[in-house]
Structure 1
């Protein structure tokens, strides 16, 4: 039986104590422990090249059990790019000190001179105007306070890493994971909750009415990262839902950003068996309409067997790349906490293949709003069903779109890296109890789908 690995305080500057978690038991012959499972062959774009193995080859000294944000960071720092497994137990607070004690927005602002009251008084459009972004003392104080939060709740994930929840209850609250220029990372079996920016920036020049802009995706895949598998996770803003946020200057004080964003030349990502619920922004794939960000030829993403419940937009919104979106279930009820925007955002030079997805929508959501034109030209949509009835989503969109926003069927490619494609009518029942964190370390029967 393997001992739990503990990091030594003298080497990392964080006092960690051993935690009496059970080591993984010996598995049945031919069974692979959950934390050492790898992405199956041909399971989406992340199976290309060397595939995605995460920390499957980790030595016993590179298997870490963590209960705090500081312990997770210490594990990353100690192991570097060596194969490593991070087993998450209980609830990790992103906004916490090195002992796991919660930190508030006021704690981050202390000593910076920032107060929301001063910020609002200075940049009220009636005083500041609408033509210039904020600058000067209160904005500088906001930037400093925001940096204090960033240094705490944003963790950079190294290459060759598996981060996995030990039980379905394992949670990251207010913790943002950034995979920045790395490769071969697996994130599984975790609840990602309430990642909130304490210090959104007001921009009166953003749109016709200005906007509050926030930072911190729940998982950010950026700057050429590749071979990433995001599997069996849950994403929600609970308990800090958008409809509970205040409004200032007539605009929502938005403290939430994306769920899983993939940008700046990142590539080869598989997103499977996750549940996204009551979030506005889901997946932004592609940084900008300009090729200078390094996106052309990259941004190949597979999105399959996920459940999207009462979400707002970007499932996904794509620029440049290829997104194979199949066998997902999109659910929309009248009691949703965020307003509905669209599902598939067809962006500049994008190639979305949407096949055999199921939509369970209330009558208030019109089928022609599932697709949205974002400077793209083509999308493939086949064998999708709305409330168990087969619907041509592209035809529904074009029936109401003006001539200059019409879309055509994309004939430039066809997905080949897939596991089994189920009939769309079977998807709601198939996914009902199989998405999100449903696995427990050491329990027989935990297998990749």
Structure 2
């Protein structure tokens, strides 16, 4: 059963013994397909798969089942952004499965569609150029009718347009090999039990980055929007996805005021007391600040994050990234059987931050000539770390020892103080490049 056009009406349809009602607003192009349990071969239907017992922190306690129990009224196939957001909103927290067919674009009309009347980027550059504005005063006090005020208003329009709030008990899954979401920010915020699989996420471009003259010695551009953010949520499984900058890598971004006009934030952030997350068989590629677990050292944040941020990363490919794969604060984070492929832009992979307890075992690193294994670890704050059984260019390397020998001003303590037990299968690190290369990323879900 599918709707050809909906014109803002509420449509109800009967499918077998089930009934579906979807509130669809402005979705002429939406195709909404409903399939019931009777049509599913449950053992083989990837849309109804759940996270296996023992598979990382996401399996802890009640486990992660997403929308696997969805009835006929709450299984959708969507082909555009409006339809995707309508499906998310329909049915509240009742279990639901949303199948994404093809690539859907949250910014199909371009950045100009978000700009409020009067916004002029050239006027913004002219007013806040360092040679006229200086580097001592930020822009927070600028009035609403100023270039900065109009930028803020335009940014608010984009924020409302490209964010999608994911409710509890939801599975979002791509159909086939070319399903994806472009220019959007998936908000898994304050909910429990979410699965996201088999999608290519092309990083959203912040159309209106803010210039902060006081950021560093020369000022900097700051942007918003992660491809996906897990914020205060529990039991989340992200599996067989690809996160990439796609057609807009940082190398394609212009330079203003002597700094890259940065329009990207993170690919995946896990923050604000989020807990019990497993990220498996994903590809993270072509990005700078990739994956952050815990977003602040502040005491107000620490009160929220201490005892939480339990995350497992396994069988992911981290390819051609600069940093944060991951950077960790506070959490007990298990990172095993991942493959890291670096290039000349590489800064580090594991950021050891405030009160973190990072375990990094049996990973494989492919580093180019001139990039030392000592840089794999980066110390931000005093915290112990376990880094055992890792290979660099096919050879065993004690990552802590080589780091401490070459970067003595950042001496790391060995021994994170806990032993991960939620692992279903651990591959030899020698096998990891091949296993991950064959299996990770969207389009490879079986």
User: What is the TM-score normalised by the length of structure 2?
Assistant: 0.91
Matched, 1:187 2:208: no
Query: 1:416, 1:39 → 2: CA distance?
Result: 16
Matched, 1:131 2:136: yes
Match of 1:320 in 2: 330
By relative contact order (CA 8 Å, sep 6+), the higher-ranking structure is 1
Match of 2:16 in 1: none
SS of aligned partner of 1:278 = strand
SS of aligned partner of 1:168 = strand
Match of 1:267 among 275, 281, 292: 275
SS of aligned partner of 2:88 = helix
Q: Per-residue CA shift, 1:141-167, capped at 9, x if unaligned?
A: 001001111111111111111000011
Cα distance 1:141–1:402, how it changes in 2: closer, same or farther (>3 A)?
Answer: same
When the two chains are superposed, the root-mean-square deviation of aligned CA atoms in Å is 1.9
| Cα shift at 1:14 | 2.5
Match of 1:347 in 2: 353
Match of 1:392 in 2: 398
Match of 1:305 among 310, 315, 339: 315
| Cα shift at 1:376 | 2.9
Match of 1:233 in 2: 241
Cα distance 1:92–1:17, how it changes in 2: closer, same or farther (>3 A)?
Answer: closer
Cα distance 1:6–1:290, how it changes in 2: closer, same or farther (>3 A)?
Answer: farther
Matched, 1:432 2:437: yes
| Cα shift at 1:402 | 3.2
Segment of structure 1 superposing worse, 368-377 or 312-321 = 368-377
Q: Structure 2, unaligned stretches of length 5 or more?
A: 11-22
SS of aligned partner of 1:271 = strand
Q: Per-residue CA shift, 1:105-127, capped at 9, x if unaligned?
A: 1221141x221111111111111
Match of 2:220 in 1: 211
Cα distance 1:297–1:282, how it changes in 2: closer, same or farther (>3 A)?
Answer: same
Match of 1:61 in 2: 73
Q: Per-residue CA shift, 1:318-368, capped at 9, x if unaligned?
A: 00111100000001245xxxx211100000101110000001111121111
Given that residues 94 and 172 in structure 1 are in contact (C-alpha distance below 8 angstroms), is that contact kept between their aligned partners in structure 2? yes
Match of 1:153 in 2: 162
Matched, 1:406 2:418: no
Match of 1:98 in 2: none
Q: Per-residue CA shift, 1:155-205, capped at 9, x if unaligned?
A: 111111100001110011111101111111111000001311000001111
Given that residues 4 and 64 in structure 1 are in contact (C-alpha distance below 8 angstroms), is that contact kept between their aligned partners in structure 2? no
SS of aligned partner of 2:322 = coil
Query: 1:131, 1:271 → 2: CA distance?
Result: 42
**Which structure shows the bigger proportion of residues in strand conformation?**
2
SS of aligned partner of 2:205 = coil
Q: Structure 1, unaligned stretches of length 5 or more?
A: 96-101, 441-445
Matched, 1:34 2:46: yes
| Cα shift at 1:209 | 2.2
SS of aligned partner of 1:147 = helix
Q: Per-residue CA shift, 1:72-101, capped at 9, x if unaligned?
A: 111111121110000000110111xxxxxx
SS of aligned partner of 2:181 = strand
SS of aligned partner of 1:49 = coil
SS of aligned partner of 2:178 = coil
Match of 2:18 in 1: none
Match of 1:89 among 101, 105, 110: 101
Query: 1:110, 1:20 → 2: CA distance?
Result: 32
SS of aligned partner of 1:288 = coil
| Cα shift at 1:243 | 0.5
Segment of structure 1 superposing worse, 74-83 or 318-327 = 74-83
Match of 2:389 in 1: 383
Query: 1:170, 1:254 → 2: CA distance?
Result: 27
SS of aligned partner of 2:214 = coil
Match of 2:263 in 1: 255
Given that residues 76 and 98 in structure 2 are in contact (C-alpha distance below 8 angstroms), is that contact kept between their aligned partners in structure 1? yes
Match of 1:116 in 2: 121
Given that residues 34 and 75 in structure 2 are in contact (C-alpha distance below 8 angstroms), is that contact kept between their aligned partners in structure 1? no
Given that residues 27 and 82 in structure 2 are in contact (C-alpha distance below 8 angstroms), is that contact kept between their aligned partners in structure 1? no
| Cα shift at 1:439 | 4.5
Given that residues 371 and 394 in structure 1 are in contact (C-alpha distance below 8 angstroms), is that contact kept between their aligned partners in structure 2? yes
Query: 1:22, 1:220 → 2: CA distance?
Result: 28
Query: 2:307, 2:298 → 1: CA distance?
Result: 13
Query: 1:367, 1:439 → 2: CA distance?
Result: 30
Cα distance 1:408–1:20, how it changes in 2: closer, same or farther (>3 A)?
Answer: closer
| Cα shift at 1:288 | 1.0
Query: 2:415, 2:282 → 1: CA distance?
Result: 27
Given that residues 357 and 384 in structure 1 are in contact (C-alpha distance below 8 angstroms), is that contact kept between their aligned partners in structure 2? yes
Matched, 1:356 2:362: yes
Given that residues 7 and 74 in structure 1 are in contact (C-alpha distance below 8 angstroms), is that contact kept between their aligned partners in structure 2? no
Segment of structure 1 superposing worse, 57-66 or 128-137 = 128-137
Q: Per-residue CA shift, 1:120-139, capped at 9, x if unaligned?
A: 11111111111211123111
